[in-house]
Every structure is written in structure tokens, then in C-alpha cells.
């Protein structure tokens, strides 16, 4: 059976909240009210300081779905390059190195997040993660507009673990030999699902759980001088996305 490594996105692979950059791009294109962006910026600040422990799952789900309800799928496609660039600029060098190490060892890597699959998938492709994205899929009607409903589980807390297990069954992945990385106690179900759990920049609750269970604890930090360069773009599925990323060699310890 195959082996995989599952990475949470916000505060694990990249600093900060990816949804804030989505909101800024949507505001610039007239899709999002400025008052809502201000509220999301405040939430992103507290998310950065404290993580997402204690988030109301239903409220978070409804917030994400209501943000895009009524949009056309093509509206989202227009935003992807503008959302992708600032996210990639905030990738932790250590997380990128872990992804590279797993890929070199033949371990399939996945990016897992409650954020929309359109955004998470673009980031996963840019980081050359062979497994792709496990993320929230918003339903689209016959006219190509988001309905405000879900297609599949909401990929947060137990829902993320459910989606992970479904992918493992579909792709014949041995979870007992696989890895998972996250910063938040909300991802304990995902971390519990694998044989090698890694707490990255853990919130206080996750740190306590990791210490009790003997999980690996890592601290990933941004480095001055880190540069993320979108190496190429192509049309994949719908919309233009970045498909290659290069990090400055000084920020990454390349191993043979």
C-alpha cells in the first residue's frame, strides 16, 4: 500500500490565514463588502495569535459557504492568481523542505484545509504536492453558480479526518505508516488517523495533547530573505493557476 503525508495549510505550511487573502482579492474585484473584510482581518489576527481552537464548526462552514454563494465558478477562477501569490510568499521554509523530503522518498503529499478546494488545490499544485488537495467543495448549480451548500464533508475537525480516510481508501494509502502535520487542536482527529503525527507551531491545547501522546513537536518560522517565485502558469481545469514554485536556495537546506 502507498504511504502519504497530510499537511494542514494555515499556520502549518504557511503563516497566517489564507482566507484573508481571498477576501482582499474579492474586495478588489467588487465581490466582497469592505465591512466583511474588516471582520475577517480581525479574525485572521486572532487566528495568527491563538490558532483556531474553539472555532464553531457550523459557523465557520456557513461563513465560508455564504462568502461565495451566488458567485459563478468563473468568478473564483479570476481571483486564484491574486490569492496564490501572497500565500506562497508566506510558506515556511521548513514545511517546504518536509514536503520535498517526503516526495523524494516516494511519499505522496496532500494539502488539507477547510478553505475552498479551488484555492487549496492551486497552492498544492504550486508546491508540487503529488497527492493534491483535500479541502471543502462548494456545490455549483447548472448555471455554474455556487449554491451555498456543500458537496462532500466540510474539511474541518472530524470532517477533515473523514475526507482523509476517504482518500486513503480510494488511493489505497496505509494510514498507519503515514504522516500528518497541523498546528491546531481542531485537527486532532486527522493527527489521530495516522501513525506519525507532527504538531507544528501548536496551539496550547494541541501542545498538551502532543506531549501526552508523544507526538513530534516542531516550530516552523518564516525567514528573512525568503523568496517564492511562481515559475510557470497554465490553464488547469478552470482558470489560470501557478504550477511551479521555487524557493531561494539560502532558505532551504537541499539534501542529496
10 is catalytic: yes
User: CA-to-CA distance for 2 and 4, rounded, in angstroms?
Assistant: 7
192 is catalytic: no
Q: Are 91 and 200 in contact (CB under 8 A)?
A: no
User: CA-to-CA distance for 54 and 48, rounded, in angstroms?
Assistant: 14
User: Which among 191, 193, 245 has a CA at the least distance from the CA of 218?
Assistant: 191
Q: CB-based contacts of 178: which residues, under 8 Å, 6+ apart?
A: 3, 4, 5, 6, 107, 168, 194, 195, 196
Q: Which of 8, 40, 52, 183 is catalytic?
A: 8
Q: Are 4 and 178 in contact (CB under 8 A)?
A: yes
Backbone phi and psi for residue 91, each to the nearest 5 degrees, phi listed first: -65, 130
Measured CA distances, 148 to 63, 71, 79, 192 (Å): 10, 10, 19, 30
Residue 170, Cβ density class (10 Å: 0-12 exposed, 13-18 middle, ≥19 buried) = exposed
Beta bridge partners of residue 238, listed in sequence order: none
Q: Are 234 and 223 in contact (CB under 8 A)?
A: no
Question: Residue 124 has which C-alpha cell?
Answer: 498544492
Question: Residue 37 has which C-alpha cell?
Answer: 473584510
Q: Supply the residues annotated as catalytic.
A: 8, 10
Amino acid at each position: 500500500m502507498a504511504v502519504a503525508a497530510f499537511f494542514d495549510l494555515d499556520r502549518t505550511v504557511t503563516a497566517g490565514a489564507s482566507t484573508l487573502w481571498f477576501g482582499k482579492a474579492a474586495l478588489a474585484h467588487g465581490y466582497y463588502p469592505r465591512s466583511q473584510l474588516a471582520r475577517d482581518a480581525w479574525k485572521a489576527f486572532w487566528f495568527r495569535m491563538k490558532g483556531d481552537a474553539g472555532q464553531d464548526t457550523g459557523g465557520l462552514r456557513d461563513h465560508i459557504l455564504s462568502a461565495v454563494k451566488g458567485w459563478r465558478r468563473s468568478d473564483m477562477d479570476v481571483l486564484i492568481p491574486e490569492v496564490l501569490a501572497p500565500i506562497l510568499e508566506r510558506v515556511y521554509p521548513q514545511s517546504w523542505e518536509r514536503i520535498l523530503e517526503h516526495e523524494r522518498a516516494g511519499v505522496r503529499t496532500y494539502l488539507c484545509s477547510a478553505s475552498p478546494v479551488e484555492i487549496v488545490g492551486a497552492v498544492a499544485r504550486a508546491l508540487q504536492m503529488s497527492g493534491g488537495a483535500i479541502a471543502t467543495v462548494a456545490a455549483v448549480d447548472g448555471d455554474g453558480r455556487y449554491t451555498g451548500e456543500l458537496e462532500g464533508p466540510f474539511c474541518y475537525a472530524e470532517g477533515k479526518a473523514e475526507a482523509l480516510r476517504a482518500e486513503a481508501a480510494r488511493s489505497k494509502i496505509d494510514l498507519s505508516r503515514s504522516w500528518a502535520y497541523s498546528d491546531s487542536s481542531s485537527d486532532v482527529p486527522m493527527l489521530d488517523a495516522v501513525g506519525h503525527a507532527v504538531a507544528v507551531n501548536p496551539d496550547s491545547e494541541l501542545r498538551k495533547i502532543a506531549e501526552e501522546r508523544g507526538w513530534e513537536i516542531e516550530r516552523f518560522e518564516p525567514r528573512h530573505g525568503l523568496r517564492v517565485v511562481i515559475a510557470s502558469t497554465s490553464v488547469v481545469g478552470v482558470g489560470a493557476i501557478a504550477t511551479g514554485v521555487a524557493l531561494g536556495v539560502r532558505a532551504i537546506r537541499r539534501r542529496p
